[in-house]
A and B are shown apart, each in its own frame.
Chain A
Protein backbone atom coordinates (compact mmCIF):
# COMPACT_ATOMS: atom_id res chain seq x y z
CA UNK A 1 0.00 0.00 0.00
CA UNK A 2 2.80 2.35 0.90
CA UNK A 3 6.15 1.93 -0.71
CA UNK A 4 9.03 4.22 0.12
CA UNK A 5 12.30 3.81 -1.70
CA UNK A 6 15.46 5.62 -0.67
CA UNK A 7 13.89 8.95 0.07
CA UNK A 8 16.19 11.72 1.16
CA UNK A 9 15.16 15.19 2.21
CA UNK A 10 17.62 18.00 2.60
CA UNK A 11 16.90 21.48 3.88
CA UNK A 12 19.91 23.37 2.61
CA UNK A 13 22.83 21.63 4.26
CA UNK A 14 20.75 19.83 6.82
CA UNK A 15 19.75 16.31 5.91
CA UNK A 16 16.44 15.63 7.61
CA UNK A 17 16.06 12.09 6.33
CA UNK A 18 18.65 10.03 4.63
CA UNK A 19 17.81 7.18 2.23
CA UNK A 20 14.79 5.95 4.10
CA UNK A 21 13.24 2.78 2.69
CA UNK A 22 10.26 0.92 4.05
CA UNK A 23 6.89 -0.37 3.01
CA UNK A 24 3.52 -0.96 4.57
CA UNK A 25 1.22 -3.74 3.45
CA UNK A 26 -2.54 -3.41 3.20
CA UNK A 27 -4.15 -3.57 6.61
CA UNK A 28 -0.91 -3.22 8.49
CA UNK A 29 -0.21 -0.79 11.32
CA UNK A 30 3.31 0.56 11.34
CA UNK A 31 4.80 2.67 14.09
CA UNK A 32 7.41 5.26 13.43
CA UNK A 33 9.53 5.60 16.50
CA UNK A 34 12.24 8.09 17.10
CA UNK A 35 13.44 10.97 19.21
CA UNK A 36 12.26 14.45 18.37
CA UNK A 37 13.88 15.75 15.22
CA UNK A 38 14.59 12.27 13.90
CA UNK A 39 12.67 12.83 10.67
CA UNK A 40 9.30 11.28 11.44
CA UNK A 41 7.25 14.32 10.51
CA UNK A 42 9.34 14.98 7.42
CA UNK A 43 8.73 11.44 6.17
CA UNK A 44 5.01 11.83 6.78
CA UNK A 45 4.91 15.15 5.00
CA UNK A 46 6.52 13.58 1.97
CA UNK A 47 4.02 10.72 1.99
CA UNK A 48 1.09 13.13 2.19
CA UNK A 49 2.51 15.17 -0.72
CA UNK A 50 2.91 18.24 1.45
CA UNK A 51 6.52 18.47 0.42
CA UNK A 52 8.51 16.65 -2.22
CA UNK A 53 11.50 14.46 -1.42
CA UNK A 54 14.90 15.63 -2.57
CA UNK A 55 15.67 12.15 -3.84
CA UNK A 56 13.94 8.81 -4.02
CA UNK A 57 10.36 7.79 -4.65
CA UNK A 58 7.37 7.37 -2.41
CA UNK A 59 4.27 5.56 -3.61
CA UNK A 60 0.89 5.31 -1.98
CA UNK A 61 -1.62 2.80 -3.37
CA UNK A 62 0.47 2.62 -6.52
CA UNK A 63 0.48 6.37 -7.16
CA UNK A 64 3.70 8.33 -7.04
CA UNK A 65 3.61 11.17 -4.51
CA UNK A 66 5.54 13.47 -6.83
CA UNK A 67 3.69 12.73 -10.07
CA UNK A 68 0.10 12.16 -9.03
CA UNK A 69 -0.35 14.05 -5.78
CA UNK A 70 -4.11 14.44 -6.15
CA UNK A 71 -4.65 10.69 -6.47
CA UNK A 72 -2.46 10.11 -3.43
CA UNK A 73 -4.17 12.81 -1.39
CA UNK A 74 -7.57 11.30 -2.15
CA UNK A 75 -6.50 8.02 -0.58
CA UNK A 76 -4.93 9.41 2.54
CA UNK A 77 -6.31 10.55 5.84
CA UNK A 78 -3.75 12.70 7.56
CA UNK A 79 -3.52 14.00 11.07
CA UNK A 80 -0.64 16.48 11.33
CA UNK A 81 1.21 17.18 14.58
CA UNK A 82 -1.13 20.02 15.43
CA UNK A 83 -4.78 19.15 14.77
CA UNK A 84 -5.77 21.25 11.76
CA UNK A 85 -8.98 22.72 13.11
CA UNK A 86 -10.69 26.06 12.60
CA UNK A 87 -11.60 27.61 15.92
CA UNK A 88 -14.64 29.50 14.65
CA UNK A 89 -16.35 26.35 13.39
CA UNK A 90 -18.47 23.92 15.33
CA UNK A 91 -17.38 20.29 15.16
CA UNK A 92 -20.01 19.25 12.64
CA UNK A 93 -19.53 22.36 10.51
CA UNK A 94 -15.81 21.72 10.40
CA UNK A 95 -16.24 18.08 9.43
CA UNK A 96 -18.77 19.08 6.77
CA UNK A 97 -16.22 21.48 5.34
CA UNK A 98 -13.57 18.76 5.32
CA UNK A 99 -15.96 16.38 3.58
CA UNK A 100 -16.78 18.93 0.90
CA UNK A 101 -13.11 19.61 0.31
CA UNK A 102 -12.81 15.92 -0.42
CA UNK A 103 -15.67 16.07 -2.84
CA UNK A 104 -18.27 14.37 -0.65
CA UNK A 105 -21.84 15.53 -1.02
CA UNK A 106 -25.35 14.96 0.23
CA UNK A 107 -26.26 11.75 1.99
CA UNK A 108 -22.82 10.34 1.49
CA UNK A 109 -21.38 13.17 3.51
CA UNK A 110 -23.94 13.13 6.28
CA UNK A 111 -23.55 9.38 6.92
CA UNK A 112 -19.76 9.70 6.92
CA UNK A 113 -20.10 12.62 9.30
CA UNK A 114 -22.28 10.70 11.71
CA UNK A 115 -20.00 7.69 11.57
CA UNK A 116 -16.82 9.58 12.32
CA UNK A 117 -18.51 11.52 15.11
CA UNK A 118 -19.62 8.25 16.61
CA UNK A 119 -16.25 6.57 16.17
CA UNK A 120 -14.50 9.32 18.06
CA UNK A 121 -17.25 9.87 20.63
CA UNK A 122 -17.73 13.50 19.66
CA UNK A 123 -21.51 13.40 19.91
CA UNK A 124 -21.66 15.54 23.02
CA UNK A 125 -19.62 18.37 21.50
CA UNK A 126 -21.01 18.15 18.01
CA UNK A 127 -22.50 21.62 18.03
CA UNK A 128 -19.85 23.34 20.06
CA UNK A 129 -17.24 25.71 18.67
CA UNK A 130 -13.90 24.01 18.28
CA UNK A 131 -12.23 27.06 19.80
CA UNK A 132 -13.95 26.26 23.10
CA UNK A 133 -12.94 22.60 23.18
CA UNK A 134 -10.11 21.14 25.23
CA UNK A 135 -6.89 19.87 23.71
CA UNK A 136 -8.07 16.27 23.86
CA UNK A 137 -11.28 16.98 22.03
CA UNK A 138 -9.47 18.96 19.36
CA UNK A 139 -7.13 16.06 18.85
CA UNK A 140 -10.15 13.81 18.41
CA UNK A 141 -11.73 16.24 15.97
CA UNK A 142 -8.44 16.10 14.06
CA UNK A 143 -8.68 12.32 14.01
CA UNK A 144 -12.32 12.44 12.95
CA UNK A 145 -11.22 14.59 10.05
CA UNK A 146 -8.62 12.00 9.03
CA UNK A 147 -11.02 9.04 9.05
CA UNK A 148 -14.02 10.94 7.65
CA UNK A 149 -13.70 9.75 4.06
CA UNK A 150 -12.70 6.23 5.13
CA UNK A 151 -9.33 6.39 3.36
CA UNK A 152 -7.36 3.21 2.70
CA UNK A 153 -4.25 4.85 4.13
CA UNK A 154 -4.03 6.73 7.40
CA UNK A 155 -1.05 8.77 8.42
CA UNK A 156 -1.18 9.92 12.00
CA UNK A 157 1.47 12.14 13.50
CA UNK A 158 1.45 11.49 17.24
CA UNK A 159 -2.27 10.73 17.46
CA UNK A 160 -2.48 10.36 21.23
CA UNK A 161 -0.71 13.53 22.30
CA UNK A 162 -2.78 15.59 24.68
CA UNK A 163 -5.31 12.91 25.48
CA UNK A 164 -6.06 11.58 28.93
CA UNK A 165 -5.29 7.91 29.69
CA UNK A 166 -8.83 6.75 29.04
CA UNK A 167 -8.96 8.55 25.71
CA UNK A 168 -5.55 7.16 24.80
CA UNK A 169 -6.89 3.65 25.26
CA UNK A 170 -9.96 4.50 23.17
CA UNK A 171 -7.86 5.92 20.37
CA UNK A 172 -5.57 2.91 20.43
CA UNK A 173 -8.60 0.65 20.19
CA UNK A 174 -9.85 2.72 17.29
CA UNK A 175 -6.54 2.37 15.50
CA UNK A 176 -6.53 -1.36 16.18
CA UNK A 177 -10.03 -1.63 14.77
CA UNK A 178 -8.88 0.17 11.63
CA UNK A 179 -6.10 -2.35 11.10
CA UNK A 180 -7.01 -5.02 8.62
CA UNK A 181 -9.00 -2.77 6.34
CA UNK A 182 -6.70 0.25 6.50
CA UNK A 183 -2.97 0.73 6.32
CA UNK A 184 -1.85 2.95 9.13
CA UNK A 185 1.41 4.73 9.81
CA UNK A 186 1.63 6.44 13.14
CA UNK A 187 4.52 8.24 14.68
CA UNK A 188 5.10 8.31 18.36
CA UNK A 189 7.77 8.56 20.95
CA UNK A 190 5.63 6.80 23.50
CA UNK A 191 6.98 3.31 23.26
CA UNK A 192 4.23 1.26 24.91
CA UNK A 193 1.92 2.73 22.33
CA UNK A 194 3.91 1.16 19.54
CA UNK A 195 3.89 -2.16 21.35
CA UNK A 196 0.17 -1.89 21.98
CA UNK A 197 -1.14 -1.15 18.51
CA UNK A 198 1.46 -1.91 15.89
CA UNK A 199 2.45 -5.02 14.05
CA UNK A 200 5.70 -3.50 12.96
CA UNK A 201 8.00 -0.83 14.28
CA UNK A 202 10.43 1.33 12.37
CA UNK A 203 12.96 3.05 14.56
CA UNK A 204 14.37 6.17 13.03
CA UNK A 205 17.17 8.22 14.42
CA UNK A 206 19.10 11.09 12.91
CA UNK A 207 17.14 10.71 9.69
CA UNK A 208 18.04 7.05 9.20
CA UNK A 209 16.18 3.87 9.84
CA UNK A 210 18.12 2.03 12.50
CA UNK A 211 15.80 -0.93 12.95
CA UNK A 212 12.63 -2.37 11.49
CA UNK A 213 10.81 -5.39 12.87
CA UNK A 214 7.95 -6.50 15.09
CA UNK A 215 8.18 -5.21 18.66
CA UNK A 216 8.84 -8.73 20.02
CA UNK A 217 11.54 -9.59 17.59
CA UNK A 218 13.22 -6.27 18.04
CA UNK A 219 13.66 -6.87 21.72
CA UNK A 220 14.68 -10.47 21.13
CA UNK A 221 17.26 -9.42 18.62
CA UNK A 222 18.93 -7.01 20.93
CA UNK A 223 18.90 -9.17 23.98
CA UNK A 224 22.26 -10.66 24.81
CA UNK A 225 21.12 -12.83 27.72
CA UNK A 226 17.97 -14.00 29.49
CA UNK A 227 17.22 -12.24 32.73
CA UNK A 228 15.33 -13.56 35.72
CA UNK A 229 14.15 -11.55 38.65
CA UNK A 230 13.76 -13.35 41.93
CA UNK A 231 12.46 -11.96 45.21
CA UNK A 232 13.38 -13.73 48.43
CA UNK A 233 11.76 -13.23 51.82
CA UNK A 234 14.79 -13.83 54.07
CA UNK A 235 17.96 -13.63 52.03
CA UNK A 236 21.17 -14.67 53.85
CA UNK A 237 24.22 -12.37 53.73
CA UNK A 238 26.06 -14.33 51.09
CA UNK A 239 22.97 -14.70 48.94
CA UNK A 240 24.65 -13.25 45.85
CA UNK A 241 27.45 -15.79 45.73
CA UNK A 242 25.10 -18.63 46.58
CA UNK A 243 22.79 -17.76 43.74
CA UNK A 244 25.80 -17.53 41.49
CA UNK A 245 26.60 -21.14 42.26
CA UNK A 246 23.45 -22.40 40.51
CA UNK A 247 24.50 -24.15 37.32
CA UNK A 248 23.98 -22.01 34.23
CA UNK A 249 23.71 -18.67 36.02
CA UNK A 250 26.26 -16.28 34.59
CA UNK A 251 25.78 -13.19 36.70
CA UNK A 252 23.82 -12.04 39.72
CA UNK A 253 22.99 -8.45 40.57
CA UNK A 254 21.28 -6.89 43.53
CA UNK A 255 17.82 -5.66 42.53
CA UNK A 256 16.08 -2.50 43.61
CA UNK A 257 14.75 -3.77 46.92
CA UNK A 258 16.72 -5.75 49.49
CA UNK A 259 15.35 -9.20 48.65
CA UNK A 260 15.32 -8.82 44.88
CA UNK A 261 18.08 -10.22 42.71
CA UNK A 262 18.60 -10.21 38.98
CA UNK A 263 20.04 -13.36 37.50
CA UNK A 264 21.52 -13.56 34.07
CA UNK A 265 21.83 -16.74 32.06
CA UNK A 266 22.78 -17.61 28.51
CA UNK A 267 20.44 -16.74 25.67
CA UNK A 268 17.74 -19.30 24.99
CA UNK A 269 17.92 -20.93 28.41
CA UNK A 270 15.20 -20.83 31.02
CA UNK A 271 16.62 -21.39 34.50
CA UNK A 272 13.54 -20.48 36.48
CA UNK A 273 12.94 -24.05 37.52
CA UNK A 274 16.46 -24.49 38.90
CA UNK A 275 16.34 -21.16 40.68
CA UNK A 276 13.01 -22.00 42.31
CA UNK A 277 14.25 -25.38 43.50
CA UNK A 278 17.42 -23.84 44.86
CA UNK A 279 15.62 -21.12 46.84
CA UNK A 280 13.06 -23.53 48.22
CA UNK A 281 15.69 -26.10 49.13
CA UNK A 282 17.49 -23.42 51.14
CA UNK A 283 14.20 -22.35 52.75
CA UNK A 284 14.73 -18.64 52.02
CA UNK A 285 11.10 -18.08 51.17
CA UNK A 286 10.36 -17.59 47.45
CA UNK A 287 8.08 -14.58 46.96
CA UNK A 288 8.39 -13.90 43.27
CA UNK A 289 10.07 -15.35 40.24
CA UNK A 290 9.77 -14.01 36.70
CA UNK A 291 11.66 -13.46 33.47
CA UNK A 292 12.43 -9.93 32.44
CA UNK A 293 11.82 -9.20 28.81
CA UNK A 294 13.43 -6.24 27.23
CA UNK A 295 10.99 -3.41 26.81
CA UNK A 296 10.86 -1.36 23.67
CA UNK A 297 12.32 1.47 25.72
CA UNK A 298 15.49 -0.48 26.21
CA UNK A 299 15.64 -1.42 22.57
CA UNK A 300 15.03 2.14 21.56
CA UNK A 301 17.63 3.63 23.84
CA UNK A 302 20.13 1.01 22.87
CA UNK A 303 19.59 1.60 19.18
CA UNK A 304 19.59 5.34 19.28
CA UNK A 305 22.58 5.47 21.62
CA UNK A 306 24.38 3.00 19.46
CA UNK A 307 24.42 5.66 16.81
CA UNK A 308 26.33 8.10 18.94
CA UNK A 309 29.82 6.93 18.30
CA UNK A 310 29.27 6.27 14.63
CA UNK A 311 27.41 9.18 13.13
CA UNK A 312 27.73 12.91 13.40
CA UNK A 313 24.19 13.23 14.81
CA UNK A 314 25.46 12.78 18.33
CA UNK A 315 23.82 15.89 19.65
CA UNK A 316 20.40 15.09 18.34
CA UNK A 317 20.47 11.71 19.96
CA UNK A 318 21.91 12.82 23.26
CA UNK A 319 19.10 15.33 23.55
CA UNK A 320 16.68 12.46 23.89
CA UNK A 321 16.10 12.34 27.66
CA UNK A 322 15.49 16.05 27.75
CA UNK A 323 13.19 15.89 24.77
CA UNK A 324 11.03 13.17 26.22
CA UNK A 325 10.71 15.11 29.43
CA UNK A 326 9.49 18.12 27.56
CA UNK A 327 6.64 16.27 25.97
CA UNK A 328 5.78 14.57 29.20
CA UNK A 329 5.32 17.86 31.02
Chain B
Protein backbone atom coordinates (compact mmCIF):
# COMPACT_ATOMS: atom_id res chain seq x y z
CA UNK B 1 0.00 0.00 0.00
CA UNK B 2 1.47 3.32 -1.02
CA UNK B 3 1.14 6.39 1.19
CA UNK B 4 -1.60 7.83 -1.05
CA UNK B 5 -3.57 4.62 -0.80
CA UNK B 6 -3.06 4.71 2.95
CA UNK B 7 -4.59 8.18 3.07
CA UNK B 8 -7.50 7.13 0.86
CA UNK B 9 -8.15 4.12 3.07
CA UNK B 10 -7.92 6.22 6.19
CA UNK B 11 -10.36 8.81 4.85
CA UNK B 12 -12.80 6.17 3.66
CA UNK B 13 -12.69 4.61 7.07
CA UNK B 14 -13.33 8.00 8.60
CA UNK B 15 -16.43 8.35 6.43
CA UNK B 16 -17.85 4.94 7.03
CA UNK B 17 -17.38 4.74 10.78
CA UNK B 18 -19.02 8.10 11.26
CA UNK B 19 -22.75 8.51 10.60
CA UNK B 20 -22.08 11.26 8.04
CA UNK B 21 -21.96 9.07 4.96
CA UNK B 22 -25.04 7.10 5.98
CA UNK B 23 -27.13 10.17 6.70
CA UNK B 24 -25.95 12.11 3.68
CA UNK B 25 -26.18 9.04 1.45
CA UNK B 26 -29.68 8.16 2.62
CA UNK B 27 -30.94 11.69 2.08
CA UNK B 28 -29.27 11.90 -1.30
CA UNK B 29 -30.82 8.64 -2.46
CA UNK B 30 -34.18 9.59 -0.99
CA UNK B 31 -34.21 12.88 -2.85
CA UNK B 32 -33.06 11.20 -6.04
CA UNK B 33 -35.79 8.59 -5.73
CA UNK B 34 -38.45 11.12 -4.87
CA UNK B 35 -37.53 13.39 -7.76
CA UNK B 36 -37.55 10.43 -10.16
CA UNK B 37 -40.99 9.47 -8.87
CA UNK B 38 -42.27 13.03 -9.35
CA UNK B 39 -40.97 13.26 -12.90
CA UNK B 40 -42.28 9.83 -13.85
CA UNK B 41 -45.74 10.65 -12.47
CA UNK B 42 -45.63 13.97 -14.26
CA UNK B 43 -44.67 12.23 -17.48
CA UNK B 44 -47.54 9.79 -17.07
CA UNK B 45 -49.92 12.65 -16.45
CA UNK B 46 -48.77 14.35 -19.64
CA UNK B 47 -49.13 11.14 -21.59
CA UNK B 48 -52.76 10.82 -20.46
CA UNK B 49 -53.42 14.39 -21.54
CA UNK B 50 -51.92 13.77 -24.95
CA UNK B 51 -53.97 10.60 -25.32
CA UNK B 52 -57.17 12.44 -24.47
CA UNK B 53 -56.45 15.24 -26.87
CA UNK B 54 -55.14 13.26 -29.82
CA UNK B 55 -56.48 9.80 -29.16
CA UNK B 56 -54.49 6.67 -29.71
CA UNK B 57 -51.18 5.61 -28.19
CA UNK B 58 -48.82 8.44 -27.24
CA UNK B 59 -45.12 7.77 -27.40
CA UNK B 60 -43.70 8.66 -24.03
CA UNK B 61 -40.23 10.13 -24.20
CA UNK B 62 -38.64 9.36 -20.84
CA UNK B 63 -35.36 10.96 -21.88
CA UNK B 64 -36.94 14.37 -22.24
CA UNK B 65 -39.60 14.12 -19.60
CA UNK B 66 -37.80 12.32 -16.81
CA UNK B 67 -34.05 12.06 -17.08
CA UNK B 68 -33.19 15.47 -18.39
CA UNK B 69 -35.22 17.12 -15.64
CA UNK B 70 -33.90 14.75 -13.06
CA UNK B 71 -30.26 15.34 -13.96
CA UNK B 72 -30.82 19.08 -14.15
CA UNK B 73 -32.22 19.07 -10.62
CA UNK B 74 -29.21 17.14 -9.39
CA UNK B 75 -27.10 20.28 -9.66
CA UNK B 76 -28.92 21.63 -6.67
CA UNK B 77 -28.89 18.38 -4.72
CA UNK B 78 -25.15 17.94 -5.25
CA UNK B 79 -24.56 21.51 -4.20
CA UNK B 80 -26.21 20.77 -0.86
CA UNK B 81 -24.84 17.27 -0.34
CA UNK B 82 -21.20 17.47 -1.36
CA UNK B 83 -20.06 20.34 0.88
CA UNK B 84 -21.30 18.28 3.82
CA UNK B 85 -19.09 15.42 2.72
CA UNK B 86 -16.04 17.58 2.06
CA UNK B 87 -16.21 19.95 5.02
CA UNK B 88 -14.30 17.67 7.36
CA UNK B 89 -11.35 16.85 5.12
CA UNK B 90 -8.79 19.40 6.26
CA UNK B 91 -10.81 21.26 8.90
CA UNK B 92 -11.02 18.20 11.10
CA UNK B 93 -7.31 17.48 10.81
CA UNK B 94 -6.59 20.97 12.03
CA UNK B 95 -9.05 20.83 14.84
CA UNK B 96 -7.70 17.50 16.09
CA UNK B 97 -4.11 18.65 15.61
CA UNK B 98 -3.38 15.78 13.28
CA UNK B 99 -2.63 18.26 10.52
CA UNK B 100 0.85 18.83 11.90
CA UNK B 101 1.39 15.08 11.94
CA UNK B 102 0.36 14.73 8.29
CA UNK B 103 2.57 17.62 7.30
CA UNK B 104 5.57 16.16 9.07
CA UNK B 105 5.08 12.73 7.54
CA UNK B 106 7.39 11.94 4.65
CA UNK B 107 4.76 12.53 1.98
CA UNK B 108 4.15 15.50 -0.27
CA UNK B 109 1.21 17.87 -0.04
CA UNK B 110 0.22 16.64 -3.51
CA UNK B 111 -0.27 13.18 -2.13
CA UNK B 112 -2.32 14.40 0.82
CA UNK B 113 -4.58 16.51 -1.40
CA UNK B 114 -4.92 13.73 -3.97
CA UNK B 115 -5.68 11.12 -1.32
CA UNK B 116 -8.37 13.24 0.26
CA UNK B 117 -9.92 14.17 -3.05
CA UNK B 118 -10.03 10.60 -4.30
CA UNK B 119 -11.60 9.32 -1.09
CA UNK B 120 -14.62 11.67 -1.27
CA UNK B 121 -14.85 11.11 -4.99
CA UNK B 122 -15.11 7.37 -4.37
CA UNK B 123 -17.84 7.91 -1.78
CA UNK B 124 -19.66 10.13 -4.25
CA UNK B 125 -19.25 7.62 -7.09
CA UNK B 126 -20.68 4.84 -4.98
CA UNK B 127 -23.71 6.97 -4.12
CA UNK B 128 -24.10 7.88 -7.77
CA UNK B 129 -23.78 4.21 -8.68
CA UNK B 130 -26.72 3.40 -6.42
CA UNK B 131 -28.91 5.89 -8.27
CA UNK B 132 -28.41 3.71 -11.36
CA UNK B 133 -31.25 1.66 -9.94
CA UNK B 134 -33.77 4.23 -11.19
CA UNK B 135 -33.01 4.00 -14.94
CA UNK B 136 -32.55 0.22 -14.58
CA UNK B 137 -36.02 -0.19 -13.11
CA UNK B 138 -37.58 2.19 -15.61
CA UNK B 139 -36.01 0.18 -18.41
CA UNK B 140 -38.31 -2.69 -17.50
CA UNK B 141 -41.39 -0.60 -18.21
CA UNK B 142 -40.40 1.65 -21.00
CA UNK B 143 -38.08 2.04 -23.88
CA UNK B 144 -35.62 4.89 -23.94
CA UNK B 145 -32.29 5.93 -25.30
CA UNK B 146 -29.42 5.07 -22.93
CA UNK B 147 -26.87 7.40 -24.52
CA UNK B 148 -28.12 10.67 -22.99
CA UNK B 149 -28.26 8.85 -19.68
CA UNK B 150 -24.60 7.94 -19.91
CA UNK B 151 -23.71 11.54 -20.73
CA UNK B 152 -25.94 12.69 -17.88
CA UNK B 153 -24.03 10.45 -15.51
CA UNK B 154 -20.77 11.69 -16.99
CA UNK B 155 -22.02 15.22 -16.33
CA UNK B 156 -22.93 14.43 -12.73
CA UNK B 157 -19.56 12.77 -12.19
CA UNK B 158 -17.67 15.76 -13.53
CA UNK B 159 -19.88 18.25 -11.71
CA UNK B 160 -19.48 16.25 -8.50
CA UNK B 161 -15.69 16.20 -8.92
CA UNK B 162 -15.69 19.96 -9.38
CA UNK B 163 -17.91 20.50 -6.32
CA UNK B 164 -15.69 18.22 -4.28
CA UNK B 165 -12.58 20.14 -5.26
CA UNK B 166 -14.26 23.42 -4.26
CA UNK B 167 -15.28 21.83 -0.96
CA UNK B 168 -11.73 20.58 -0.43
CA UNK B 169 -10.42 24.10 -0.94
CA UNK B 170 -12.95 25.51 1.52
CA UNK B 171 -11.99 22.89 4.07
CA UNK B 172 -8.33 23.77 3.71
CA UNK B 173 -9.05 27.43 4.39
CA UNK B 174 -10.63 27.09 7.82
CA UNK B 175 -10.47 24.78 10.80
CA UNK B 176 -14.18 25.12 11.45
CA UNK B 177 -16.24 22.51 9.60
CA UNK B 178 -19.41 24.60 9.54
CA UNK B 179 -17.53 27.53 8.08
CA UNK B 180 -15.97 25.19 5.53
CA UNK B 181 -19.40 23.90 4.47
CA UNK B 182 -20.82 27.40 4.11
CA UNK B 183 -17.76 28.61 2.26
CA UNK B 184 -18.22 25.91 -0.33
CA UNK B 185 -21.99 26.54 -0.53
CA UNK B 186 -21.19 30.19 -1.07
CA UNK B 187 -18.52 29.64 -3.69
CA UNK B 188 -20.62 27.12 -5.60
CA UNK B 189 -23.75 29.27 -5.51
CA UNK B 190 -21.73 32.20 -6.72
CA UNK B 191 -20.31 30.21 -9.63
CA UNK B 192 -23.85 29.08 -10.37
CA UNK B 193 -25.48 32.49 -10.15
CA UNK B 194 -22.96 34.35 -12.28
CA UNK B 195 -24.39 32.43 -15.22
CA UNK B 196 -27.43 34.70 -14.74
CA UNK B 197 -25.16 37.69 -15.12
CA UNK B 198 -23.66 36.09 -18.20
CA UNK B 199 -27.12 35.62 -19.72
CA UNK B 200 -27.95 39.23 -18.92
CA UNK B 201 -24.85 40.49 -20.70
CA UNK B 202 -25.76 38.27 -23.64
CA UNK B 203 -23.43 37.76 -26.54
CA UNK B 204 -20.76 40.28 -25.56
CA UNK B 205 -17.23 39.10 -24.87
CA UNK B 206 -17.64 39.63 -21.15
CA UNK B 207 -20.96 37.84 -21.21
CA UNK B 208 -19.40 34.86 -22.94
CA UNK B 209 -16.50 34.75 -20.51
CA UNK B 210 -18.83 34.86 -17.53
CA UNK B 211 -21.06 32.20 -18.98
CA UNK B 212 -18.04 30.02 -19.58
CA UNK B 213 -16.84 30.34 -16.00
CA UNK B 214 -20.15 29.10 -14.63
CA UNK B 215 -20.71 25.36 -14.77
CA UNK B 216 -24.36 25.77 -15.84
CA UNK B 217 -24.02 25.73 -19.62
CA UNK B 218 -21.39 23.03 -19.59
CA UNK B 219 -23.47 20.77 -17.42
CA UNK B 220 -26.65 21.46 -19.39
CA UNK B 221 -25.07 20.32 -22.61
CA UNK B 222 -23.95 17.05 -21.07
CA UNK B 223 -27.42 16.48 -19.62
CA UNK B 224 -28.92 17.05 -23.05
CA UNK B 225 -26.65 14.33 -24.36
CA UNK B 226 -24.02 16.48 -25.95
CA UNK B 227 -20.36 15.75 -25.39
CA UNK B 228 -18.31 18.76 -26.35
CA UNK B 229 -14.54 18.96 -25.84
CA UNK B 230 -15.03 22.54 -24.67
CA UNK B 231 -17.10 21.34 -21.73
CA UNK B 232 -14.71 18.55 -20.83
CA UNK B 233 -11.84 21.02 -20.94
CA UNK B 234 -13.85 23.29 -18.65
CA UNK B 235 -14.43 20.60 -16.06
CA UNK B 236 -10.93 19.20 -16.08
CA UNK B 237 -9.19 22.56 -16.05
CA UNK B 238 -11.35 23.98 -13.27
CA UNK B 239 -10.87 20.81 -11.27
CA UNK B 240 -7.10 21.06 -11.70
CA UNK B 241 -7.22 24.73 -10.77
CA UNK B 242 -9.17 24.08 -7.58
CA UNK B 243 -6.81 21.28 -6.55
CA UNK B 244 -3.88 23.56 -7.28
CA UNK B 245 -5.41 26.28 -5.09
CA UNK B 246 -5.95 23.74 -2.32
CA UNK B 247 -2.33 22.72 -2.56
CA UNK B 248 -1.28 26.37 -2.26
CA UNK B 249 -3.53 27.00 0.72
CA UNK B 250 -2.24 23.92 2.54
CA UNK B 251 1.32 24.86 1.71
CA UNK B 252 0.84 28.46 2.84
CA UNK B 253 -0.60 27.37 6.18
CA UNK B 254 2.94 26.31 7.07
CA UNK B 255 4.18 29.84 6.69
CA UNK B 256 1.77 31.40 9.14
Contacts and interface: CB of A to CB of B under 8 A. Distances in A.
Given A103-B3, A105-B1, A49 B14 contact: no
Contacts of B100: 45, 50, 80, 84
Given A84-B98, A88-B18, A76 B10 contact: no
A101 B103 CA distance: 11
Contact of A88 (B9, B17, B107, B256): B17
Interface residues of B, number: 27
B104 A51 contact: no
Contact of A102 (B9, B17, B106, B255): B106
Contacts of A74: 106
B105 A101 contact: yes
B89 interface: no
Given A97-B10, A100-B3, A48 B104 contact: yes
Contacts of A93: 13
B104 A73 contact: yes
Contact of B6 (A11, A50, A88, A97): A97
Nearest to A103: B3
Contacts of B230: none
A119 to B, nearest CB: 19
Interface string A87-128: 111000100011011110100000000000000000000000
B13 A88 contact: yes
B106 A89 contact: no
A100 B1 contact: yes
A50 B97 contact: no
Contact of B254 (A51, A78, A84, A101): A51
B107 A82 contact: no
B23 interface: no
A131 B255 CA distance: 31
Contact of B103 (A50, A81, A98): A50
Given A51-B254, A80-B97, A100-B1, A70 B108 contact: yes
Given A45-B100, A84-B97, A84-B98, A52 B254 contact: yes
B178 to A, nearest CB: 19
B140 interface: no
Contact of A52 (B7, B96, B107, B255): B255
Contacts of B17: 88
Contacts of B14: 86, 88
B101 interface: yes
Interface string B11-50: 0011001100000000000000000000000000000000
A81 B98 CA distance: 11
Interface in B225-256: 254-256
Contacts of A220: none
A11 B10 contact: no
B96 A101 contact: no
A76 B104 contact: yes
A101 B6 contact: yes
Interface in B123-180: none
A87 B10 contact: no
Nearest to A49: B104
B10 to A, nearest CB: 5
A86 B96 contact: yes
Nearest to B18: A88
A158 to B, nearest CB: 13
A11 B256 CA distance: 7
A97 to B, nearest CB: 5
Which of A45, A78, A84 neighbours the largest number of chain B CB atoms within 10 Å of its CB? Answer: A84
B10 A102 contact: no
A105 B97 CA distance: 26
A168 interface: no
A50 B96 contact: no
Contacts of A76: 104
B104 A78 contact: yes
Nearest to B253: A51
B254 A70 contact: no
A240 interface: no
A191 B137 CA distance: 72
Contact of A100 (B6, B97, B103, B255): B6
A86 B254 CA distance: 21
Interface in B78-128: 96-98, 100-108
Given A50-B100, A85-B98, 10 more contacts: A49-B104, A50-B104, A50-B254, A73-B106, A87-B96, A89-B10, A93-B13, A101-B7, A102-B3, A145-B101
11 contacts: A49-B104, A52-B254, A78-B101, A80-B100, A80-B104, A84-B100, A86-B96, A97-B9, A97-B10, A100-B2, A102-B105
Interface of B: 1-3, 5-7, 9-10, 13-14, 17-18, 96-98, 100-108, 254-256
Listed from nearest, the 6 A-B pairs whose CB atoms lie closest are A84-B101, A100-B6, A82-B97, A73-B106, A74-B106, A48-B104
